[in-house]
Structure 1
C-alpha cells in the first residue's frame, strides 16, 4: 500500500484540462498513425512499383485487422514511453500537467503499464469527469498541475530546513 500524500490531491488537474489532454493525445496518436501508413505506402510503392490495394474481401479484412493492431500498438507505446520516461505526454506538456504516483514519486513501470492498459476499458475516457479517472485510481497515479505542485513541495522543504545547521 502506497503512502497517500494530500499535496498530490490539492494539485489535481481539472476535468477541463483532463479532457483537453485526452483530445490532444488522440490527435497526436492519429497523426503518428497516418504518418506511419503514409511512409509505409511510399515504401510499398517504391519496392513494388504500385500502390497498395485490397481488392478482395479477405485482403481488406486482413488489412483492417493489421491496421487496428498497429493503432493499438502505437497508442500503447505513445502513452507508456511518454509517461514512463518523461512523466507526461505531448498534450500534458501543452497543458502543464504531469503524471505522478499518489505518494509523490515518479510512477513505476508497473503503474504506467496498469494505467495504459486501463485506458482500453470502455468508457474509461469519460471516467475522469468524476473524482479520479479509472486509469488513475487503478494504477495509484494522478494527473497534477506540475508547476503548482513543485512550488508547494519546495516551499515545504524550505520551511522544514529553517533552523537546521548548515555544513560549511
Structure 2
C-alpha cells in the first residue's frame, strides 16, 4: 500500500494503520481443548489405519492367525507421529488455519501479522509439535510451535 498524499504533497504518516490487524489470542483453556480434541482425532485415524491393515492382511492371508502383526513399537510410534504431522499440516493449510479442535472452540492459526498460514509454515508448525517436551511449552504464553514459526492461535471475531 502506497502512502497517501495530502493536499500539500506530504505523505500521510498514519496511512499504514489501515493494514493493522487486531487479533485476540486464544486462551490457554481453548488451546488445551483444541489439543485434546485433535489428539483424539489423530488417535482415531491411527486406529482406523490399523483396522484397515488387519482387514487387508486377513483378506490376503486368511490362514495366518499368528500373534505377530508385523508392526514393531518403533514403527507404530513413527506412524503415529506421521499421522500427527499430516493431520495438523493438511488441516491448518487447507482449512484456513483450523483443525477440528479449533473449529470446535472458534479459534484459528495465523501468522502473528494476521495473514493466513502457508503450506510451509503449517508443515513446520506441525513438525515442531513432535519436539521433545513441546507439550510443556504450552504452559507459557506461546508454545514453541508458535514461537518457532511466528504464528499464533486467535479467537474468531464475534461478527463471524
Cross-structure match for 1:44: 57
In the TM superposition, residue 73 of structure 1 has moved relative to its aligned partner by 1.2
Q: How many residues align?
A: 140
CA contact (8 A) 1:124 1:134 kept: yes
1:75 is the counterpart of 2:88: no
Matches of residues 48-127 of structure 1 in structure 2 within 5 Å?
48-49=61-62, 50-51=64-65, 53-54=67-68, 63-86=72-95, 87-127=97-137
Cross-structure match for 1:33: 46
Q: Choose the corresponding residue for 1:134, options 136, 139, 144.
A: 144
3-state secondary structure, aligned to 1:147: coil
CA contact (8 A) 2:34 2:101 kept: yes
Which structure is higher in helix share?
Answer: 1
Over the residues paired in the alignment, what is the CA RMSD in angstroms?
2.1
4+ runs of 1 displaced by more than 6 Å? Answer: none
Q: Show structure 2 runs of 5+ residues with no match.
A: 1-19
Cross-structure match for 1:22: 35
CA 1:46 to 1:136, structure 2 compared with 1: closer, same or farther past 3 Å?
same
In the TM superposition, residue 24 of structure 1 has moved relative to its aligned partner by 1.1
In the TM superposition, residue 114 of structure 1 has moved relative to its aligned partner by 1.9
TM-score normalised by the chain length of structure 2: 0.79
CA contact (8 A) 1:41 1:52 kept: no
Q: Show structure 1 runs of 5+ residues with no match.
A: 155-168
In the TM superposition, residue 23 of structure 1 has moved relative to its aligned partner by 1.1
Cross-structure match for 1:7: 22
